[in-house]
Amino acid sequence: MRAGREYLPARIAVWEEGDFVRTYILRRVIINIPVIWLVATLVFLATSVLPGDFVAQRIAAQDPTSTDPAAREAQIQKVREDLGLDKPVGQRYLIYLGNLVQGDFGVSYQDRRPALQGMKEGLPYSLQLSVMSLIVAVLTSMPIGIISAIRQDTITDYVLRVFSILVLAAPNFWVATMALLYVVKWKLWNVPLSDSPLLWEDPVASMRLFIIPAIVGGLASGAGVMRLLRSQMLEVLRQDYIRTAWAKGMRERVIIVRHALKNAMVPVVTVLGLTMAGLLSGNVVFENLFGIPGVGRKILVAINARDVPVVQAFVLVIATFIVFVNLGIDLLYGVLDPRIRYS
């Protein structure tokens, strides 16, 4: 009975901690609502002043030989009315916000499909490329950062630091282009540029296509993480509790992994989370170079075509994703460092 009474406060503490976490999540979600509204407003204003006239471009492309200005102007006005572009900017903004509240992102000006349809089609490709790049970044940055820190001011440290600087300095598109050229020239493997299979559709062909951009993007992202991890590890390794662990005769692996690395990971996790969000929306170069129909490539096509609803939908969804990635990172802080409390 006594043991049960002693166990009861611990269970109450766990429940209270769970309540704090739920309250914290709810408060953060409420706080982020104005952020998402501000992003939606900025996206609407930015796309409303885009140079060029989509309707005029569309009519000119459909009938390039027309020589009747009045007929063309009437046709342009008719299309504007159909798309709702004849209304004042303020009225269109209120309609836009009202539709967003209902989960309606509008329809594409080009093919009259839902604005998010293109993102649904491109998201699996961008997610696969981003996850593969993040795996490469973690697998390269973590061991390199740790080794560079524990072998400070040695030849190994200098070589690894020079490597990270070279990776950061080299333009991603140039490295990816050169890697693709060498793979094709030396016939190392067949890169399926005309097709874009996903990993669960054709694993071998998918790896042949995605492996080069994943490695190049992962190394570029991991180089910054490596330098940050090295500096954090050096700071942690100078702490008194690390010296105490060495004095007690603990094994190096236990000290590095269990004590030093865990405490150095808090700022590194922030960078890794933002890296994942950046990879999802910033793989435009790789997707265009390798013919991958991902989110970045589709949003670039939409911008060039002045397809405003698609651009607005893509940017707003990506911004919302980044907001919730930040929330997930903040929750992970408490796992890495028990001293951090949700309040």
pLDDT digits (tens, 9 = 90+) for 212-233: 888 888 888 888 888 888 888 8
Using 50, 70 and 90 to split pLDDT, how confident is the model at 60? low
**How crowded is residue 97: how many other Cβ atoms within 10 Å of its Cβ?**
13
For tokens 């490295």, what's the residue? Answer: 175
Q: Which residues are 107's β-sheet partners?
A: 114
pLDDT of residue 17: 52
> Taking all residues of the chain, what is their mean pLDDT, rounded to a whole number?
77
Query: In the chain, what are the domains?
Result: 52-104 (no CATH), 119-336 (1.10.3720.10)
Where do the H-state alpha helices sit in the chain?
Answer: 2-48, 54-62, 69-83, 89-101, 117-150, 155-169, 172-185, 203-237, 240-247, 252-254, 262-282, 284-289, 295-304, 308-336
pLDDT score at 179: 81
Confidence of residue 153 (pLDDT cuts 50, 70, 90): confident
Q: Which of 57-61, 179-183, 253-257, 316-320 has the lowest mean pLDDT?
A: 57-61
pLDDT at 106: 79
